[in-house]
Structure 1
């Protein structure tokens, strides 16, 4: 190997070693920079605090990765997988990281035809080390309440116009027929019917407003279902006798629930009155109370059954809407307001239960109000040590003819 080749090889090897040394030094410098400025992390205490928030909360890292996301953020759709799931919010997060300035956004979620829309107010705030905080506020419930109030006011205005207009026309007719006693008596009777209907409508509107503003479980107390059923039966007795309708009570006795006694009386009375109103003379109406154990949960089912005109499938989906009437002419004849079943559903749901309907045209209907049973574990006196439940009906199969 000649001297020139030796010099060239030495030069090449020296350059390679120098380059490798430079790379090592550069890597060491970057490593020291990373050690000096670690990537953002979320302190262990932070999730414990933020998990208590009902609002969706997200902390995004410098590469849009999720450092933290609570359950509401995933439930509502603010987070999808490992990234922020709303393009508009993600763009605002990147802008906040880039500019160091926060932003507020109003975004719509679930606006598809098969899903209710949600309006989400989102606050984006930059944090240290390029992390970004995102806090959402679901305003959908407030918007629905406002819409419901507007609809209720519109419905009330429409419903009140009918009896008020009828009273005005009847009053004018009576005035014109002042010299005809028979006509005056006839139209005065019609005025009495319309004024009674108007009073009932106003009373149920007040009742619905009170139910929507009260929390039945806020000041809850044990309620005896037997007492609720007997009260509804007492109110129905006169109407049953007038229409020759047989009314009976059957099922379990001694059951209790927790809630508001007045609301439950109103709900059951509405179901019974509906059954009587939509049954022909000579029909049967029955209230059946059952103690139900379903998957370890205890319920009280109160069913009101009639063999009246029944309800078609097309009407069953809307029957619990405010002011909805299956047979408008018959409802007006019986003084129905279209609010009774809406009140029943509101009471049942507010008590943690629900309402079910079975009906066939010409065969009758069964409305079943389900409420959580009040149960108290007590020890048997027979020394077995097994638990029994206070409130379990021991009168299965009882039957009481009321009217």
Structure 2
């Protein structure tokens, strides 16, 4: 082959290469696209991550595939994040909706939790971000919602309880008017009106007291309280009721026990327990108030117990007796002028003092309510014994 033929062949190869090169490049690029070239994952900026961490509310950033790219501890505590995924299905649906519609969304979300645990009430706000990301901010409103429900129930119960004595007074007033010519009937109806008026006055007094207690924190400015004085004052306030009901009221306990708190509130709690014990005991019964020093690990506690041998409480009712306006025996409570608020006041007072209320009861044998409060600088004997003086009867 001559040099001319070689040169011609080279030129033809060069021309063909230049002609097909764009086609080869296009084919290669098309193959890469068909193979699905991976897209770059979105990245949460440092500023956004810091803002999420600074929020008091629960917050997270969800990625385009529902993965959690960043979250703060509050979100994990509320259970909004499980592993690296958005946990509640209800919240996940909202995330997908915001991502698809590219809009801001605010709503209330109610999430069910473990059995026996109150529902989680969340005020949720979501906003779509670039790259398919979604910002979620959630405020836990569970306590506020439950408080509102309690207020509504309380107002409804108060309205009902107030209507009963008011209605009774009106009916009795009409009866007095119709029996104007019958002095005996007038006297009987008037006595009943006085009873219903006293009941109404007691109900109003306890409502005011409960309202005052809820706005007062006894441990913010506590004082030293001598338990002997609390028991003595409470027994003194109840002695007339005990005498009129033919109930033997006795006091005993370890002397010189002290706690921190409000003496008036603690006395009110013990008075309510003694009053209940008297009202739910038959004539000839006994009510005993005692105190002692107890030890739990290295901590000392003062226990004030009010025991009776009255009608007792069924086991299925023990969990409800501290509810407002709940009565074990409605007829007996109404006859004695009970309001159904006494034990609610007791529970609130003792809880505000950092203590607990325990109940033992058996139908036909009686009940024992024990108030357990942190003791103030009390020393317990090394052998664990607690000396108590003999019981004293409170005489009218």
Distance verdict in 2 for CA 1:237–1:95, change over 3 Å: same
Q: Distance in 1 between matches of 2:324 and 2:78?
A: 29
Q: Distance in 1 between matches of 2:90 and 2:54?
A: 27
Residues 52 and 59 of structure 2 are in contact (CA less than 8 Å); yes or no, is this contact kept in structure 1? no
Of 260, 263, 266 in structure 1, the residue corresponding to residue 262 of structure 2 is 260
Q: Per-residue deviation at 1:288?
A: 2.3
**Most deviating of 253-262 and 311-320:** 253-262
1:40 has 2:44 as partner: yes
Number of residue-to-residue matches in the alignment: 358
**What is residue 301 of structure 1 aligned with on the other side?**
303
Residues 252 and 290 of structure 1 are in contact (CA less than 8 Å); yes or no, is this contact kept in structure 2? yes
**What is residue 393 of structure 2 aligned with on the other side?**
402
Q: Distance in 2 between matches of 1:164 and 1:180?
A: 24
**What is residue 391 of structure 1 aligned with on the other side?**
378
Residues 59 and 138 of structure 2 are in contact (CA less than 8 Å); yes or no, is this contact kept in structure 1? yes
1:245 has 2:247 as partner: yes
Of 158, 177, 180 in structure 2, the residue corresponding to residue 178 of structure 1 is 180
Aligned 1:2-401 pairs, distance under 5 A: 39-40=43-44, 49-50=54-55, 53=56, 55-60=57-62, 64-94=66-96, 101-110=103-112, 114-125=116-127, 132-374=134-376, 390-392=377-379, 396-401=387-392
Secondary structure at the residue paired with 2:390? strand
Distance verdict in 2 for CA 1:140–1:47, change over 3 Å: closer
Q: Distance in 2 between matches of 1:41 and 1:257?
A: 55
Q: Per-residue deviation at 1:71?
A: 4.2
Q: Which runs of 5+ in 1 are unaligned?
A: 1-17, 27-32, 375-389
Secondary structure at the residue paired with 1:270? helix
Distance verdict in 2 for CA 1:94–1:315, change over 3 Å: closer
**Most deviating of 204-213 and 127-136:** 127-136
**What is residue 379 of structure 1 aligned with on the other side?**
none
Q: Distance in 1 between matches of 2:262 and 2:392?
A: 27
Distance verdict in 2 for CA 1:256–1:62, change over 3 Å: farther
Higher-Rg member (1/2):
2
Residues 59 and 135 of structure 2 are in contact (CA less than 8 Å); yes or no, is this contact kept in structure 1? yes
Q: Per-residue deviation at 1:311?
A: 0.8
Distance verdict in 2 for CA 1:217–1:123, change over 3 Å: farther
**Most deviating of 268-277 and 89-98:** 89-98
Distance verdict in 2 for CA 1:92–1:179, change over 3 Å: closer
Q: Per-residue deviation at 1:77?
A: 2.4
Q: Per-residue deviation at 1:318?
A: 1.6
Distance verdict in 2 for CA 1:38–1:172, change over 3 Å: closer
Residues 52 and 60 of structure 2 are in contact (CA less than 8 Å); yes or no, is this contact kept in structure 1? no
Q: Per-residue deviation at 1:230?
A: 1.8
Q: TM-score, normalised by structure 1?
A: 0.77
Q: Per-residue deviation at 1:359?
A: 0.4
Residues 255 and 388 of structure 2 are in contact (CA less than 8 Å); yes or no, is this contact kept in structure 1? no
Q: TM-score, normalised by structure 2?
A: 0.78
Secondary structure at the residue paired with 1:365? strand
Q: Per-residue deviation at 1:335?
A: 1.1
Distance verdict in 2 for CA 1:227–1:142, change over 3 Å: same
Q: Per-residue deviation at 1:221?
A: 3.4
Residues 41 and 67 of structure 1 are in contact (CA less than 8 Å); yes or no, is this contact kept in structure 2? no
Distance verdict in 2 for CA 1:103–1:219, change over 3 Å: farther
Residues 309 and 363 of structure 1 are in contact (CA less than 8 Å); yes or no, is this contact kept in structure 2? yes
Q: Which runs of 5+ in 2 are unaligned?
A: 1-23, 33-38
Cα root mean square deviation, aligned: 3.3
